[in-house]
Every structure is written in C-alpha cells, then in structure tokens.
C-alpha cells in the first residue's frame, strides 16, 4: 500500500533552510524520516510547488503506524512544526 500525507506550509519566509518529516509513536520517540533506515527507499517528498511539503510513503508496514509531523526552519533559526501531526493507522 501507499499513503500520501498531504501538507502545505504557509511560512512567510522565503529562505527555508530545513524541511523535514518526523515520525514517532510518541513525541519522545521521534525520528527524522529521511534519516531513519526503516524508511529508506520508501519515502518521497512531493514538492510540485514551493509550498508543498507532502510525504509519500510506499510499501506501508504495520511498524509505520504512528504520528507523522512536518517541521521547517529558516536560517534565523525559527521553527514551525505541525504539533498535532497526522496519525497513520495500519490494519
């Protein structure tokens, strides 16, 4: 299965230095999706325009159940995070 987690950011700043997705069963256990070996080769950032931050997850596994949150920061260190996140359930 494949899951598309839609996301659009509305940062007023043009210079975004990092944009990343975080995943965890709880906020204390979060990992950066692009750096976690469990997601290697299965994730793609869909960026068909400058404000799109959607995440495409392929070959969904039961272990992918949890909360995905998007975070971005700019060169001045300001950080915006979707605190609520998107809960993915796998059945």
pTM higher than the cut 0.95: no
Secondary structure (DSSP) of the chain:
--EEE--B---S-S-EEEEEEEEESSGGG-EEGGG-GGGTTTEEEE-SSTTB-EEEE-S--GGG-EEEEEEEEETT--EEE-SS-EEE---
State pLDDT tens for residues 8-36: 877 665 566 677 889 998 777 899 999 99
pLDDT higher than threshold 90 for residue 82: no
Residue from 84, 82, 61 nearest 72 by CA: 82
Residues 65, 3, 27, 41: is their CA dihedral positive or negative?
A: positive
């Amino acid at each position: 299965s494949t899951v598309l987690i839609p996301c659009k950011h509305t940062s007023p700043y043009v210079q975004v230095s990092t944009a990343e997705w975080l995943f965890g069963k709880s906020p204390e256990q979060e990992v950066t999706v692009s750096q976690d070996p469990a997601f290697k080769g299965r994730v793609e950032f869909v960026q068909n325009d400058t404000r799109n931050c959607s995440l495409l997850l392929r070959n969904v596994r039961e272990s992918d159940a949890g909360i995905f949150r998007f975070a971005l920061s700019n060169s001045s260190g300001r950080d915006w995070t979707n605190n609520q996140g998107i809960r993915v359930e796998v059945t």
